[in-house]
Structure 1
């Protein structure tokens, strides 16, 4: 996913959208950011305003939506995985992670099948496969972390 699209989705999917979030962004002058400015900063079609790294960090903190983080990681060949967990490491937690990985594998298979169906691979098809693989990578990394928590 494109980082700007991820930021746009994060702002507009938040309950109340830009209006609700903008009030939480305190500017250097001490006032809040206007919804129009926040909208401009996450608008994929505008080149005049840009979300700063500090603002992207605040956006993720305010919304608990990490699409921007995942987009940055994926764009640079990395996978972002939450460290630690709210649930204790146990057999059921492991089973839930494995089930999530298996479910995501179906998406990978469908993306690969679609890409191969016409006998040629196009760039957009590779990107679709990459997006399908990302949740599997995250689940498998979480599996390893949980197993490490359980190790004696």
Structure 2
């Protein structure tokens, strides 16, 4: 994607995040430590006096659970975000490897189906994109499990 043509501008994403929250700025503002008027001004793209800080944007995303601001920032810089799930408690590296195999299989199935008629439709391209992101997320999750295992081993070796 061309960084000069983002999916959504960060200020639009901030305004949408606040607007979409149940009760809007009036309900969200106290949860992020601002007054409703100040929050409304900070997410208003036409307001020149109040600006949303990075800390406030992060707080908005944490409270609302809406990563649109982060996604818009990444898109403007030419990056894509992948949500990384927390490894399940008690599930180790082997389980992570099996998850990776499943994700790779799902991507391969989507690719196989998309190529079956010699033409890739928009829906097939979307499915391939979702499967590829899931595969990437699973690989990064496996790396997280490997880091955890390495840290556990290093900690137990230090205690010997």
**Does the CA contact (< 8 Å) of 1:41 and 1:49 recur in 2?**
yes
Structure 1 residues 1-150: aligned runs within 5 Å: 1-26=8-33, 33-84=34-85, 89=99, 91=102, 95=106, 106=122, 139-146=131-138
Cα distance in 2, alignment partners of residues 22 and 91 from structure 1: 42
CA distance in 1, matches of 2:103, 2:124: 24
Does the C-alpha gap of structure 1 residues 140 and 19 become closer, same or farther in structure 2, counting only changes over 3 Å?
same
Runs of at least 4 residues of structure 1 off by over 6 A?
A: none
TM-score by length of 1: 0.60
| Structure index of larger Rg | 2
> Any stretches of 5+ residues in structure 1 without a counterpart?
27-32, 110-132
- Pick which of 136-145 and 1-10 moved more: 136-145
Residues 106 and 131 in structure 2, CA contact (< 8 A), matched pair in contact too: no
**Separation in structure 1 between the aligned mates of residue 57 and residue 46 of structure 2, nearest angstrom:** 18
Q: Over residues 3-53 of structure 1, what are the superposed CA-to-partner deviations in whole Å (9 max), with x where a residue is unaligned?
A: 000000000001111011101122xxxxxx211110000011111110000
Aligned residues: 116
Supply the RMSD in Å over aligned alpha carbons: 3.5
**Distance verdict in 2 for CA 1:84–1:18, change over 3 Å:** same
Query: Structure 2: 5+ residue runs without aligned partners?
Result: 1-7, 89-94, 115-120, 143-160
TM-score with structure 2 setting the length:
0.58
Q: 1:137 to 1:34 in 2, by over 3 A?
A: same
User: 1:75 offset after TM fit, Å?
Assistant: 0.3
Measure, in 1, the Cα distance between the counterparts of 2:21 and 2:124: 28
Give distance in 2, aligned partners of 1:79 and 1:92. 19
